[in-house]
Amino acid sequence: MAKPKRKKATAKKRAKPTALAQFKGLVSRRAVQLGMGAFVGLTFVVAAAVAVFAVATDASQQFTDIVASELPARKPPPAEPVVLRDEPEAMEPAIDPAPQPPATVAAPPTPRVQLPPAPSGALPWQKYAKSVPVETGPRVAIVIDDAGLDHHRTARIIALPGPLTISFLTYGEGLTPQVRAASAAGHELMVHVAMEATSRSMDPGPDVLLRDIEPDEILARLTRVLGKFDGYVGVNNHMGSLFTADRAAMQVMLGEIKRRGLLFLDSRTGPNTVGGEVSRGLQLPFAERDVFLDNEPTTSAVGRQLAELERIARARGAATAIGHPRDGTIDALARWIPDAKARGFVFVPVSAIVKDNIARSALSARR
């Protein structure tokens, strides 16, 4: 019997891919190749950009360092120092208020200190008084307190057209060249004497005059303060709302000012000052402040106070203002002074106001 034939196992033939399938495969492989190439190219571009930026930044920094090393360092403008200003103006009218009733205070005892002899001939307030312009018109005296501590702003005050009256605190450094510069510029000099204030939180400075110290100590402190420089016409009070209201203390202090041949300007830092009354009783040359310029130390606020000064000067013929070496005050005065002069206001030192007061008192006594 014949054996049946065994069929050979044959692999299943694969279907031949169509042309469309071949094309899709080709496109897919090309896309992958292109994507990889683009990614590599983009990576190279980014790396190159980073390298260029780093080189440029380093070069820029080196250039900045070179320029900075060649140029002088710029100093920032000096900050306004912490200078305790005069106490705020009391709420009182600009025109002289009604006289305050005299305080019932016992007369001070006779001082026990040895004093230098009184000056002979022309009194210091007359000798050191600056000349007065011959123009006629409303007179204004501008007094700048607290000078001498801030050299930069004191120099700006000295550079203003005058004549002004500049009152120096005596405990600042480099005082002598500043007062000489002020005098050479045509400004009148005063000593700003620290006196006891109402507020205990305010420090008026060294050698402050107090109500409860002995008369000889008042005179000793005053002598130290007045010995710091010369060429001044008189003194005015730094703070002092309590001291200037004490009749006994003011008798001691103003008696010495009289004996030295000086004048007194009452800053009127408090409503109860007896400065004017005691000065009249001693026949001491004196004047009183009419306007504080910079309780609010902005240029616009100072401008409003200058307008008030003009009003008083027109009404009375003369007026006295007190300001401080602050930027707002200096800027306002620098603009206002030339304009006020052009409008007929005459700028005078405080000694001229004192002379006017003396002449007015003499005229009243003859009537």
**Given CA atoms 157, 158, 163, 169 in this order, what sign does their dihedral have?**
positive
pLDDT given at position 366: 80
The β-bridge partners of 300 are none
Residue of 288, 238, 235, 242 lying closest to 263 (CA atoms): 235
pLDDT tens string for the chain (367 positions)? 455 455 444 444 455 555 555 545 554 555 445 455 544 454 454 455 544 444 444 544 553 454 344 434 444 445 555 444 444 444 333 333 333 333 333 333 333 334 444 455 799 999 999 998 888 999 999 999 999 999 999 999 999 999 999 999 999 999 999 999 999 999 999 999 999 999 888 888 899 999 999 999 999 999 999 999 999 999 999 999 999 999 999 999 999 999 999 999 999 999 999 999 999 999 999 999 999 999 999 999 999 999 999 999 999 999 999 999 999 999 999 999 999 999 999 999 999 999 999 998 888 788 7
* Polymer length of the chain: 367
The dihedrals phi and psi of 303, each to the nearest 5 degrees, come to -60, -40
Long-range contacts from 331-334, C-beta under 8 angstroms, 24+ separation: 331/299, 332/293, 332/299, 332/302, 332/303, 332/306, 333/142, 333/160, 333/302, 333/306, 334/160
pLDDT for the residue 133: 83
d(CA 16, CA 129): 124
Q: Exposed, middle or buried by CB within 10 Å (0-12, 13-18, 19+), for 344?
A: exposed
Q: What is the pTM of this model?
A: 0.70
Q: Whole-angstrom distance between the N-terminal and C-terminal Cα of the chain? A: 180
Alpha carbon separation from 321 to 166, 234, 308, 353, 357 (Å, rounded): 12, 16, 10, 11, 16
Q: What is the pLDDT of residue 66?
A: 40
Element holding 4 (H helix, E strand)? none
pLDDT of residue 80: 52
Residues 325, 85 contacting (CB under 8 angstroms): no
Sequence-distant (≥ 6) Cβ neighbours of residue 357 within 8 angstroms: 285, 286, 287
Which structure tokens are listed for 351?
């000694």
Cβ proximity of 125 and 351 under 8 Å:
yes
Q: What is the pLDDT of residue 29?
A: 59
pLDDT for 19:
56
